[in-house]
Amino acid sequence: MKLLLVEDSERLQRSLSTGLQKHGFTVDQAFDGEEALSFIAINQYDAIILDLMLPKIDGLAVLTRLRSDGNDCHVLILSANDQTEDRVHGLDLGADDYLVKPFSFDELVSRLRALNRRRSGEKNPLVEVDGVGIDTVTRQVSFAHTVIALTPHEYRLLEFLAHRRGRVYSHDQLIDQLYDAGSYVTRNAVEAHISSLRKRLKQAGAPKLVETRRGFGYLIE
C-alpha cells in the first residue's frame, strides 16, 4: 500500500515513516502543501495522510484541490484540531477518515488498512486466493495451515496484487507502488521479488498465484 505522508513536523515525519515502512507500507514524504500537490501530480497513492496546518498551502486546500482534480485517493486527515466542526469540515471536503493528534500508531495503521480494504471492496482483513491466506493485520501468509515466510517486499507485492485481482501491473507501476519516491529501483529488482515469491509459494506447496503477461506485466487471476 503506497502512502503519501504530508506532515510539516520533521520529527513526526521521521518516526511515522519508519513505523509505517515497518508495517509494510510504502511511504513518500511531503513537508508542505505545495510539495504534497507535486507528489500527487506524478504518483498514484492508495492513501494520503494529511496534516491540516501546513506551510505554503494548508491541508484543507490540498484536499479541495485533490477532489476538484477528480483524484479519488483515500485521504486520512491527521490533525491536532479536535473540534467536531473541524472533523465535519474535513470529512465534508472529501476526507475519508480523521484522526486527532496525539493518536495511537496502531490505530493509524488499522485505519489505513481499513481504507485499503475499502478500496479493494474487501471487508475481511483476511484475503484468500486459491487457498493462500493473506492476513493483512499480522502480515502473515499461509497455505494449508502452514505459514509461508516472506520478505517485506514479497509480502507487499503479494498483498498489492491480491487486492487487485485480475488487473495487470507493469514493472514501473509495481515499482511505483512498492517503493517510495526516493528509492532507486530497477525492473530487475521487481523480477527478482516476483521470482522469489513464486519460489516460496511453491516450496509451501501453494499455487503459483502471480502470472506473467509478457510485454504487459504481472497479475493474480
Partner 1 sequence: MYSIRNKLNFTIIASMVLVMSVAAVFLYVRVAGHVEEIFDSALFDKAHSLISLTELDEEGLEFDFAEEGVMLEFHEHAALQYYQLWEEGVELLIKSPSLGDTDLPMLDTRLGQHQFADLALPDGRSGRLIEINFMPRVEIEGDEEDEDYGQEIPQALPVTMVFARERESLDATLFAIGVTVSGVVLAVLLLSGLLIWRLVGSGLSPLSDLARQVGDIDESNLDARLTHKGEQSIEIAPIEDQLNHLLERLQSAFEREKRFSSNVAHELRTPLAELKTLAEVGAMVPEDPEQLAEFFKDAGDISGQMEKIVATLLELARSEAGLLRSDPEDIDLSRYCDEIWQHSINGQGSGKSLVKNMPDDLVISTDREKLGMILSNLFINAVSYSPDNAEIHICAGIRNDNVVLEVKNASIDLKPEDIVHMKDRFWRKQKAHAGNGHSGLGLTLVDALAKIMHLDVNLKLDNQQTFMVTISGIQPSLH
Rg (CA), the chain: 18
**By C-beta, is 58 or 191 nearer to partner 1?**
58
Dmax (CA) for the chain in angstroms is: 54
For 195, the 3-state DSSP assignment is: helix
48, three cell numbers: 494520503
Q: Considering only 36-44, 97-105, 126-134, 135-143, which stretch makes contact with partner 1 by CB under 8 A?
A: 97-105
Determine phi and psi for 19, rounding to 5 degrees.
-65, -45
Please give the Cα distance from 172 to 141 (Å, whole number). Answer: 25
Among positions 200-219, residues that touch partner 1 (CB under 8 A) are: none
Count of residues touching partner 1 (by CB under 8 A): 28
CB of 161 to partner 1, least distance (A): 26
**By C-beta, is 13 or 206 nearer to partner 1?**
13
The DSSP call for residue 149 is: P
Query: Binding residue for partner 1 (CB under 8 A) from 34, 72, 103, 167?
Result: 103
Check residue 34 for interaction with partner 1 (CB under 8 A).
Answer: no
Contact predicate 38/61, CB 8 Å: no
Check residue 102 for interaction with partner 1 (CB under 8 A).
Answer: yes
Contact predicate 99/135, CB 8 Å: no
**By C-beta, is 9 or 151 nearer to partner 1?**
9
Query: Which residues of the chain form contacts with partner 1 (CB under 8 A)?
Result: 8-12, 14-16, 18-19, 22, 32, 51, 53-55, 58, 80-83, 100-106
